[in-house]
Structure 1
């Protein structure tokens, strides 16, 4: 059974404007209002509650992430909820929230074995202290932290880092001009750009990814989705929209190939503040119901 967890964290994002906070913390309830939880209930899913974050502080300083202590605390609590869900045989679907949620998933899975990661994102999220002097917002650095290329305070929580081995990671969806594309391509097991998905088709990309992460030596794989993988014309309600992304049909097809064999998934970075008429929320409900409805069913 799919178990939906609301994780309304905005802790890993920079403020959109001075004295404001990112709106993606409102995403779980906006998607609930648009029918997401009802659609999944029709598919047999249950509501597994909410893991609340601490209050956004914007307290970054040199050598320290914005909201660092709060992110670590939330990651531990989210890991605990994911572990509880998996212990009773259910499949977690975490509705966020920003990409820093990947650390909570990584903590839970690393404590349970060796898992792969499918990182579907319009950006590589691979900024880290080794390639940038401006590290501060974990939502743009989550993949680097997840494989151990960040400050130990975030990349080695409770001595469990790296949460995923680089060779066990597939990234898909970044744009051709992504600043860290070359480094990521040389580091993780597989990298597929958005332009390749558009050229070759989502089913082909999904099959390539599944071959890379669904291997006998792994205990399964986690599915991370940042909805800015969608083209900005399709999904403008995100922190960093950009052209060159895939369309809704591509994303639904890609998820449908990957979801059945996944041990869980998370959905991140939808910002209801940028969706005043609810159009983007309704579109996401359709994509997620179509693409993730079989989450974990083939395991």
Structure 2
């Protein structure tokens, strides 16, 4: 059974204008208005509640050197989200987290780490592998979440409560980056599998999913993180960093439908309702999630490993 969790965080995004606030925090309710919850509930999903973030602050020029935007609030939200996800997993349900920005992957990673582990399938139009070792532009976790998730970011983000890495690099796959992503080659040397968007477009989502599940340790029990900027801007312009060359809705649905039964949970992020005044793109996201993730967790056994919060 799927439990739908709202995590309306925008803490990991840069401001749209100086002093402004990103609109991604509005996404869970915009998707509700677009009919997503009705579609999910019709398939047996239940309400998993909401985990509210702290207040977004444009702290450029004021935060300490070596820290990221809203760092303390991101860490606090990650811990609280992880606790909720642990409880849902322990109950035998599959959490579906509606963000928000993809800084919430840190919370999903903490929950994975303390509940017996599992792999990661990171689906995104960018590698999100910026970190202090490869960039002087570190500051927005929404572009650095995969680095933090596999232990490549600063210890403050990558090693919360001594739990680094949240996902073992050898059990991590990325799908969807565009040609020319500046961190693709480093990512290929770091994790088990990188499949750019053009491979999915050429060979199809089912084949990409089969490559993922052929990775040792990714046969089952992974978390799926979906940033909707993996879609081509012709289909999904309502994101903060649209880049051409992405998937179609049908291609993404096929990929997710092949992956979802063997995932213990999933998160969907970076849709920005402020860039979707008539709601048409919210309906696109709602349709993709409802169809692609309908069978989330269906093949995960009741004997999936669960350990106490804080366990190493």
Tell me if both proteins adopt one fold, taking TM over 0.5 as the criterion. Answer: yes
The residue number in structure 1 matching 2:91 is: 88
C-alpha deviation, 1:114, in angstroms: 2.4
The answer as to 2:104 corresponding to 1:101 is yes
SS at match of 2:130: coil
Does the CA-based 8 Å contact 1:116-1:213 persist in structure 2? no
Unaligned runs of 5+ in 1: none
Alignment of 1:102-117 (within 5 A): 102-117=105-120
1:199 to 197, 202, 205: 202
The residue number in structure 2 matching 1:143 is: 146
Does the CA-based 8 Å contact 2:20-2:58 persist in structure 1? no
SS at match of 2:267: strand
C-alpha deviation, 1:215, in angstroms: 4.4
The residue number in structure 1 matching 2:224 is: 223
Does the CA-based 8 Å contact 1:117-1:213 persist in structure 2? no
Whole-angstrom distance in 1 between the partners of 2:287 and 2:216: 26
Does the CA-based 8 Å contact 1:168-1:188 persist in structure 2? yes
Does the CA-based 8 Å contact 1:203-1:254 persist in structure 2? yes
Unaligned runs of 5+ in 2: 301-312
The residue number in structure 2 matching 1:290 is: 291
Whole-angstrom distance in 2 between the partners of 1:174 and 1:214: 22
Whole-angstrom distance in 2 between the partners of 1:230 and 1:215: 24
TM-score by length of structure 1 reads 0.97
SS at match of 1:48: strand
The residue number in structure 1 matching 2:136 is: 133
The residue number in structure 2 matching 1:24 is: 24
C-alpha deviation, 1:62, in angstroms: 2.1
The answer as to 2:270 corresponding to 1:269 is yes
The residue number in structure 2 matching 1:259 is: 260
Whole-angstrom distance in 1 between the partners of 2:243 and 2:65: 28
SS at match of 1:100: helix
Q: How many residue pairs end up in the alignment?
A: 297
C-alpha deviation, 1:61, in angstroms: 3.9
TM-superposition CA deviations, 1:253-276 (whole Å, max 9, x none): 000000001000000000000001
Whole-angstrom distance in 1 between the partners of 2:196 and 2:216: 17
Does the CA-based 8 Å contact 1:92-1:265 persist in structure 2? yes
C-alpha deviation, 1:207, in angstroms: 1.1
TM-score by length of structure 2 reads 0.93
The answer as to 2:164 corresponding to 1:158 is no
C-alpha deviation, 1:19, in angstroms: 1.8
Does the CA-based 8 Å contact 2:131-2:153 persist in structure 1? yes
Whole-angstrom distance in 2 between the partners of 1:19 and 1:176: 32
SS at match of 1:6: strand
Whole-angstrom distance in 2 between the partners of 1:172 and 1:212: 13
C-alpha deviation, 1:232, in angstroms: 0.8
Does the CA-based 8 Å contact 1:8-1:25 persist in structure 2? yes
